[in-house]
Amino acid sequence: MKQMTLFDEPTAVLPVSYYPDFLSKYEADELYQHCQELQWQQNQIRMLGKTIPVPRLECIYGDEGCDYLYSKSVLLKPLTWTDALAKLRDRITATAGYSFRIVIGNQYRSGSDSIGWHNDSEASMGFNPAIASISLGSMRKFQIKPIGGKSTDFWLEHGSLLVMLPGCQSTYLHQVPKTNKVVSTRINLTFRPHIGGKR
Cα(25)–Cα(195) distance, integer angstroms? 34
- What are 186's strand-pairing partners? 108, 137
Cα(133)–Cα(189) distance, integer angstroms? 6
Cα(68)–Cα(121) distance, integer angstroms? 11
Distances in Å between the Cα of 97 and the Cα atoms of 24, 60, 73, 132, 155 are 20, 22, 31, 11, 24
Q: What is the pLDDT of residue 8?
A: 39
What is the pLDDT of the chain when averaged over all its residues? 92
Element (H, E) at 27: helix 25-35
pLDDT at 6 over 60: no
Q: Do the bridges between strand 161-164 and strand 16-19 make them parallel or antiparallel, or are there none, so unpaired? A: antiparallel
pLDDT tens digits, 130-180: 999 999 999 999 999 999 999 999 899 999 999 999 999 999 999 999 999
- What are 154's strand-pairing partners? 142
Q: What is the pLDDT of residue 53?
A: 92
Neighbours of 123 (CB within 10 A): 9
pLDDT tens digits, 47-79: 877 898 999 999 999 999 999 999 888 999 999
Q: Is 148 left (phi over 0), alpha (psi -120 to 50) or beta?
A: left
> Taking the model in full, what pTM does it have?
0.92
Cα(84)–Cα(161) distance, integer angstroms? 16
Distances in Å between the Cα of 89 and the Cα atoms of 6, 36, 40, 57, 135 are 23, 18, 19, 21, 14
E-state strands within the chain: 7-9, 12-13, 16-19, 44-47, 50-53, 57-62, 68-70, 74-76, 102-108, 115-118, 131-137, 141-146, 152-155, 161-164, 172-176, 186-192
Q: What is the pLDDT of residue 50?
A: 85
